[in-house]
Amino acid sequence: GQQLNQSPQSMFIQEGEDVSMNCTSSSIFNTWLWYKQEPGEGPVLLIALYKAGELTSNGRLTAQFGITRKDSFLNISASIPSDVGIYFCAGQLSGSARQLTFGSGTQLTVLP
């Protein structure tokens, strides 16, 4: 089946630092979504991207839809303790209705 390669798998950063994570695929996606999941909860949608090259921000978060449509990245600026969680990328193939293919997640730890 389709696979998304998400990296890094985990990150330990100091409060105030910037963070970057990315996802790559061998398939072309027409939508990229970025989610954050905290323990015991479902994933929360952070940013949605719909066009190649699109750059979208949501507060301290910025994500881009790669030009080739096979990759996406998420940046978090000036990290704070509440940024702790697992971040997932998810891609949707053209013609796949609402089926999402998920990356394996990036576990983010913010040290005070």
Partner 1 sequence: KAGVTQTPRYLIKTRGQQVTLSCSPISGHRSVSWYQQTPGQGLQFLFEYFSETQRNKGNFPGRFSGRQFSNSRSEMNVSTLELGDSALYLCASGGTGQNEQFFGPGTRLTVL
Cβ closest to partner 1, residue 65 vs residue 79: 65
Q: Does 35 bind partner 1 (CB under 8 A)?
A: yes
Q: Does 41 bind partner 1 (CB under 8 A)?
A: yes
Cβ closest to partner 1, residue 55 vs residue 80: 55
Rounded Cα gap, residues 96 and 104, in angstroms:
20
CA dihedral 24, 66, 32, 22 (to 10 degrees): 40
Rounded Cα gap, residues 7 and 107, in angstroms:
10
- Please identify which residue in the block is written with the tokens 């940024």: 83
Q: Does 72 bind partner 1 (CB under 8 A)?
A: no
| Contact positions vs partner 1 (CB under 8 A) | 1, 30-31, 33, 35, 40-45, 48, 50, 88, 90, 92, 96-105
